[in-house]
Structure 1
């Protein structure tokens, strides 16, 4: 028997750790003293004892790979028996104490968690799982596992389908992706796409936009190419945001850009080409004869003769160019091309990593002379020096150029004309007034053709950082960030002539003289911070993490602009000295500083009981010394119920049940740089019979102003089922902002000053956020996923000194939503004179506010206060403020072999907006303006309509007074993005010498379901409409 040939001493020496026996350590070897009785021990007993000893001290060694056989670095490896933990190195390898029979858990963001016996981990493979991509989320100054997160954070991942969309602004890629985040696109203007972002409503009467932090430095979403983004975190409650203190009262959006991850050298190209057009046009009347008839009807007289109208109708039908029926939308709006291309390179190894990208965007614009181009680059790199020191940096830059046409004003100007104006005649002359003495408006074609200029923006951002690892669980990080913006613009307007093409006479020159405007805005921001991080595990069960930090930020902005008239000629359109007359010259500069001390403490016991505390102490130059500093703490706790012994039966259904809650305070200092100080301006004053230059205060100062303070309470429930494929989150929040800074009117006896800022208001937002996610597979070929979010919001002004403030159709008052609509209530459209006679017989009178006594076809309003007088005293406060009470989003994705389908939808409900411009102005004819085709459904003596009133002239107030008749439901559901892609099989891609090749087609903003009749339900007063776009493109990885 082989066992009998083995010497007992050899067995002991090899195993070194015989329980109960002393041993002598000699370098890397161990031996035992010579004891005679050892020779008498039965060999089986020695082997059993040695085997037991070896199992107790055994070191488990293995490697973790992905489905392609590539090593996975950074995988958390945990022994579920003794709780020892490590992570895999760059080659996916690890070492861990334990025995071959222990269960080992492997976890990594983007992959399914896996548990295996220690004896089976020599080449363990992790499978990707989209449902767990947010297991690790970025938080302020660090990262946290989602399982131990106690704050309210929504994480948005960026994949191929996201970067393949025509996202002119990074905000567009976030639409519909996160609960509690409402994003409204207010303009489609190239290079100036307007996005209003609110996290859990509007919490202040001042700037309520969230803080945006890009790789640790404050910035703007449009500074980032979506192709460079790794992930975005939305911090919504005080626990998650308090680490940013006074800048975080309205929430925080953290953008993390891509870095190399010790991977092979890879090159990626993402690009598309497509076309765009206005998503929705207003249907204007384009028949000039009809236009003149409607003007006559509104005037109640024959302003345009029947003979002229008949002649126009006949000549235009015969194709006579001197009698046009111009469709100005078709004339001025194009189907315009757009394209974007990004080339990225990433790589790295044990000593360092890098990521670089170059991007180009070209958006021609649907209106001539309104195009936009942008070039951008980004370099992220870091290197390790002897595992003690890490040095790194980020550099990014953008250069953009927007053509000079003020497109927002253009869409207002395009209405200031009629179908009877010729855009441009064959000989190049611009058409104008055909009827001397009668207003015919402008010529949009001439307006567009005679403006030149550029709006150029240059931005450079730098960040350098160092991380010193004093020991395994203690590190010191310091960084310096610098952002520089240089905005320069010039605009030259050349006079042009408008001609009466029927008479051949020039009748008007617009503008009367040429002009040149030059302006620049330069600003820079510096950010210096230092962080100390410490982690400790005590007795395997107590996990502690501490963060301490200091932050110093400084901002500076300088502005200058000048305008001259009577420019020498088109050859001198860049040179201010070429102007004869100086019209204006202005210059200013501002600066502000913020200094902060902050800290965070995280603790958990066995990953079961969770606690976090944050604190920040901010000092802002925007407040006087006695109120300069503010302290902003937060606390949160969580309980992972499924980790309890009594809850183990629940694990048959639930993978995770977590209950969490938080409370904290945040500040807001977005009130201007010199609000507490007396600011002086330059004025002229009479002295000695002449006007002299002098200075005087511009507004009344208030040195007592202090921080706005936002207190947020949050309660949440997180569930995971079906092996984490189904996740659900529900949260209730109560957000109260006190000491809100605002102004109330002052008596004129105080002088012509702007009122002082005062801490006089309080506002509350309460609501619920719901989020649901599911990821599944059908067989080997089908995969699908769904992510939905739904948010409910209730806004109310709790306190407002002065009780109320009225601004035309809006009012701010206690107990109502901020900026509630304030207006008359519509009763009905009067159908005949008998109704008016009866009202007068009953003692009713009509005040000047409602336009005096109505006539048949006019609106009648409700006598709310019952005094039998129709006037402004009958106005009521509506429970709508233009902000939605319900927002929701839905993302769907499905895959079959190489095909993928991705859909993003957004929607709002419980919102109304006032439809001006193309609304009430439609029925008050303003001669020389286009007329909305809705006018054809008006009341007439022959058509007693109950939908629209009769026509009036533009000076009439009867049907245009602020009333809920024009308060329209602007709820909508929009399919924001619909994308179909196909990735070639590996074998086919290899024929093109690439690792991966995907083609795709995308529709953006193509389908909107709403009852609203204006341009865009997201903003009823928008002047530049939303664009709908189709693109086709490629994703290639080399």
Structure 2
């Protein structure tokens, strides 16, 4: 760039004109452009979904078969998703119905070209002056000297186009149910879940501005998973007059094994021909490495349940489970989880007889129960060691390895060595959640008005955590542990009204409201102060995942404000002013961090509307959250020049940054350095993430039965459906979508047109 400028009458520099050269590089291979990179990588997505089902049945047997196909070519270029699925289930009644055997199996095949991890980040940060292609249209545009080293996002997508995974999954079960005597049934069920994952990832050489690589390689991954479940139950049901008793006892065994293997080879010019047909490990001249492993776990469960009902008016249920998991220490593998519930159908009482005209159903529910969680790795209880073979990082050329020249000879074979990555914990045990709830179900006016009210308290103890550790512990300090506790108290409300008008309009409107309060009630000593700040200032008593950082209260407007403020490294006119929360030291330090937000909403809600009229149907589903804080760290790109990725593309908000002529701006002044450390977590990045979205809108028409019959069909329905059609968000949110703040795949607006045909 070249600039024409001058000082005005007050001596303030004024920019008059910006001159852009025809080419951005010395070799004149790239025109200066005005590229909208996000537009370049995006495209309208097209999704196709086809489903066909066939079913038949007699008094002694029934069968069902379905076939489905889904294709979505994505909203980012060179991405693709395809899935073919088939499902079959059948059951047969033998010996006058005393024995029932059946099966239910599904097979899926999925193929997908996934989005390269940082391509959306690249598309927002790439400089618009860089062209997509070189002058001849054959090469890739890229950064020139003086620009930052960011890849051309279109090149990244194009080079990734052949990196497609293939995933097979077969799952289902076969069962037999035998009536031994009247009211007593025994059932056995054996289920399988098999998966096979394969992916070949190609790395090709490229040239994109001054960023180029002659390196090529291939990484092949394959994994197999097998899980089987064998379940056996006995059920007894007895009814005497108004008394009904159901009793179930059973046991279940689960076993899962996973095996994975990968082969990798890469190097400068490792492949003479860089095509998918040629790039296999056997023809590579690069460095090769292989890896793999196997892991698995077992779960053994015994359980029982008893349900009692008197006149469908007084209801009671008791459940108990005794589960054992191989993921825990040998002394704590088993745990018992009981639960009890009771219900009272008040509307069935005699004293409610006079209310039958307007109270259709009224039931009070109370419950207490415990559940367990084993959501940890299969090897969480063990000490783990790994060898490091010193493979160089292709970007930074860092070689990490555990091999060491013990003899000092400077040549010969090196013992690989190993390092510890996890410390054992033989006392690891189940995480337990205890929940108490009280609820009321109601329907009024011949079930036109209906809904429920639920209040609950959910307390979780012995939470499974893998806390950070201080460096002096040395390598292998990571250790899974129990200890944290958390509590949730909440209220769920739902209410709906359904009816039919005199002119034939059926309608059903239902609203749902939920609110809860979350807090951490206990932390083990190892992580109690991991949030830093003042001694004892930890997350106990606060919501899990709360934001902990600095407080800002505006921008320094003049030198007097700067001089009057406490010691703050990097402070100056136009810079963010941080609050001295810990006033004793009169300076801004880690001690001034405090709690600045919660990721838990004040409440969430939804509204579902269904209308039907003479073959037409219309449905709309709205959903939202209110009073939630989100960390909009994208403001590092939209509000600052020097906090992150200096010289990358920035947001338009920077044009409204603070200047002496624009003193009311809340955006700090432009600065080429970050002396004030304004990228640190503070309330500047915490914003109101409340939103309301129209999740789904569908309009359909079903042909009259007589008309469909003349077309040799039993049913014909056409419909149009839209998803994520609009969002209402807080005026204080400066991003695009408060539900998806980061660089993740954008939530698209989707329109679908379809036909349902029955024969």
The question of a shared fold, defined as TM-score above 0.5 by the shorter chain, is answered with yes
Distance 1:395 1:439 in 2: 53
**Secondary structure of 2:707's match?**
helix
8 Å CA contact 1:949–1:959 kept in 2: the answer is: no
Aligned CA distance change for structure 1 residues 914 and 521 (closer, same or farther; 3 Å): same
What are the ranges of 5 or more consecutive residues in structure 1 without an aligned counterpart? 1-287, 294-300, 500-506, 847-851
Q: Which of 630, 653, 667 is the equivalent residue of 2:335?
A: 630
- 1:373 counterpart residue number: 82
8 Å CA contact 1:404–1:491 kept in 2: the answer is: no
8 Å CA contact 1:892–1:903 kept in 2: the answer is: yes
Question: What pairs with 1:973-988 in structure 2 (closer than 5 Å)?
Answer: 973-988=692-707
1:322 aligns with 2:31: yes
Distance 1:747 1:971 in 2: 37
Distance 1:327 1:749 in 2: 49
Distance 1:665 1:401 in 2: 40
- 1:211 counterpart residue number: none
Q: Which of 217, 220, 223 is the equivalent residue of 1:515?
A: 217
- What is the CA deviation profile of residues 337-384 of structure 1, one whole-angstrom value per residue up to 9, with x for unaligned ones? 111111111221101111111111110112222111110010111111
- Which sits farther off after the overlay, 611-620 or 676-685? 676-685
Q: Which of 471, 474, 480 is the equivalent residue of 1:757?
A: 480
Q: What is the TM-score of this pair, normalised by structure 2?
A: 0.89
1:742 aligns with 2:446: no
Distance 1:625 1:478 in 2: 29
Question: What pairs with 1:649-798 in structure 2 (closer than 5 Å)?
Answer: 649-683=354-388, 684-686=402-404, 687-689=406-408, 691-746=414-469, 748-779=471-502, 781-798=504-521
Aligned CA distance change for structure 1 residues 739 and 626 (closer, same or farther; 3 Å): same
8 Å CA contact 1:457–1:486 kept in 2: the answer is: yes
1:997 aligns with 2:698: no
Q: Which of 737, 741, 749 is the equivalent residue of 1:1020?
A: 741
- Which sits farther off after the overlay, 1013-1022 or 391-400? 1013-1022
Question: What pairs with 1:279-678 in structure 2 (closer than 5 Å)?
Answer: 309-312=18-21, 322-385=31-94, 386-406=96-116, 408-425=117-134, 427-432=136-141, 435-439=144-148, 441-451=150-160, 452-499=162-209, 507-509=210-212, 511-538=213-240, 540-565=241-266, 566-571=270-275, 572-582=277-287, 584-678=289-383
Question: What pairs with 1:103-182 in structure 2 (closer than 5 Å)?
Answer: none
Q: Which of 903, 912, 916 is the equivalent residue of 2:633?
A: 916
C-alpha displacement of 1:750: 3.8
8 Å CA contact 1:542–1:603 kept in 2: the answer is: yes
Aligned CA distance change for structure 1 residues 980 and 746 (closer, same or farther; 3 Å): closer
Distance 1:584 1:1017 in 2: 43
What are the ranges of 5 or more consecutive residues in structure 2 without an aligned counterpart? 5-11, 389-401
**Secondary structure of 1:642's match?**
helix
Aligned CA distance change for structure 1 residues 455 and 433 (closer, same or farther; 3 Å): closer
**Secondary structure of 2:303's match?**
strand
- 2:624 counterpart residue number: 907
- What is the CA deviation profile of residues 662-682 of structure 1, one whole-angstrom value per residue up to 9, with x for unaligned ones? 111111111211222222322
Aligned CA distance change for structure 1 residues 985 and 1008 (closer, same or farther; 3 Å): same
C-alpha displacement of 1:883: 3.2
Distance 2:719 2:195 in 1: 35
C-alpha displacement of 1:1001: 1.0
1:892 aligns with 2:609: yes
CA-based RMSD = 2.7
8 Å CA contact 2:639–2:668 kept in 1: the answer is: no
Distance 2:563 2:434 in 1: 57
Distance 1:921 1:688 in 2: 55
Distance 1:631 1:714 in 2: 20
C-alpha displacement of 1:951: 1.8
Question: What pairs with 1:117-266 in structure 2 (closer than 5 Å)?
Answer: none
Distance 2:713 2:529 in 1: 64
Distance 2:118 2:538 in 1: 29
C-alpha displacement of 1:323: 2.4
- 2:755 counterpart residue number: 1034
C-alpha displacement of 1:871: 2.1
C-alpha displacement of 1:416: 3.7
Q: Which of 580, 585, 595 is the equivalent residue of 1:877?
A: 595
1:801 aligns with 2:506: no
Aligned CA distance change for structure 1 residues 799 and 358 (closer, same or farther; 3 Å): same
C-alpha displacement of 1:808: 8.8
- What is the CA deviation profile of residues 669-720 of structure 1, one whole-angstrom value per residue up to 9, with x for unaligned ones? 1121122222232253432126412345432111112111111101101111
Distance 1:678 1:533 in 2: 43
**Secondary structure of 2:488's match?**
strand
**Secondary structure of 2:286's match?**
strand
Distance 2:517 2:22 in 1: 55
C-alpha displacement of 1:956: 4.4
- What is the CA deviation profile of residues 787-826 of structure 1, one whole-angstrom value per residue up to 9, with x for unaligned ones? 2211101110001122634469999621111121101111
Q: Which of 654, 670, 674 is the equivalent residue of 1:951?
A: 670
- What is the CA deviation profile of residues 918-953 of structure 1, one whole-angstrom value per residue up to 9, with x for unaligned ones? 446641343442211122221123211332111233
Distance 2:546 2:739 in 1: 17
Distance 1:334 1:874 in 2: 46
C-alpha displacement of 1:725: 2.2
**Secondary structure of 1:752's match?**
coil
The number of equivalent residue pairs is 717
Distance 1:599 1:982 in 2: 47
C-alpha displacement of 1:585: 2.8
- Which sits farther off after the overlay, 1013-1022 or 388-397? 1013-1022
Distance 2:722 2:650 in 1: 31
8 Å CA contact 1:975–1:1006 kept in 2: the answer is: yes
- What is the CA deviation profile of residues 719-774 of structure 1, one whole-angstrom value per residue up to 9, with x for unaligned ones? 11111222110011101011122244545444311332222211111101111122
8 Å CA contact 2:461–2:485 kept in 1: the answer is: yes
Distance 1:1017 1:344 in 2: 39
Aligned CA distance change for structure 1 residues 631 and 311 (closer, same or farther; 3 Å): closer
- Which sits farther off after the overlay, 698-707 or 740-749? 740-749
Aligned CA distance change for structure 1 residues 405 and 962 (closer, same or farther; 3 Å): closer
Distance 2:217 2:634 in 1: 29
Distance 2:432 2:549 in 1: 32
8 Å CA contact 2:636–2:679 kept in 1: the answer is: no
Structure having the larger proportion of residues in helix: 1
- What is the CA deviation profile of residues 585-638 of structure 1, one whole-angstrom value per residue up to 9, with x for unaligned ones? 321211000001101000011111111000011111112232111111001111
Distance 1:974 1:948 in 2: 29
Distance 1:525 1:957 in 2: 54
Distance 2:258 2:594 in 1: 44
Distance 1:1014 1:560 in 2: 41
Report which of the two structures shows the higher radius of gyration computed on alpha carbons: 1
- 1:838 counterpart residue number: 564
**Secondary structure of 1:577's match?**
helix
8 Å CA contact 2:641–2:650 kept in 1: the answer is: no
C-alpha displacement of 1:431: 4.7
8 Å CA contact 1:938–1:945 kept in 2: the answer is: no
- 1:971 counterpart residue number: 690
User: Greater relative contact order (Cα 8 A, min sep 6): structure 1 or 2?
Assistant: 1
